[in-house]
């Protein structure tokens, strides 16, 4: 969750807006370009390949679960 939060903060999202049940699009008003930026940064930092831009709106907790599932063994 820390890496995801850091990425979102770098996009200008206030830390106090970031909770487990926060939705990327509905709550944070992120567009498809920003969700792709998040996915690219997750790939760079953690080696995970998530397609956030094509999925339905997800909570931060759901994204963290997806990250955990997709994370290469050397990062776990």
- The per-residue pLDDT for 51 is 84
pLDDT per residue as tens, the chain (76 positions): 899 999 999 999 999 999 999 999 999 999 989 999 999 999 999 999 998 876 689 999 999 999 999 987 665 5
- The per-residue pLDDT for 56 is 85
Q: Where are the alpha helices (DSSP H) in the chain?
A: 2-10, 32-46, 60-70
- The per-residue pLDDT for 55 is 65
Instruction: List domains and CATH numbers for the chain.
Output: 2-75 (1.10.1200.10)
- Residue 58's φ and ψ, nearest 5 degrees, are -125, 150
What CA–CA distance (Å, rounded) separates 41 from 38?
5
């Amino acid at each position: 969750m820390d890496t995801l939060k850091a990425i979102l903060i770098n996009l200008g999202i206030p830390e106090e807006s970031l909770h487990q049940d926060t939705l990327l699009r509905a709550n944070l008003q992120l567009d498809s370009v920003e969700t792709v930026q998040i996915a690219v940064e997750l790939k760079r930092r953690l080696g995970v390949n998530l397609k956030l831009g094509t999925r339905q709106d997800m909570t931060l907790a759901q994204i963290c679960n997806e990250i955990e599932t997709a994370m290469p063994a050397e990062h776990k």
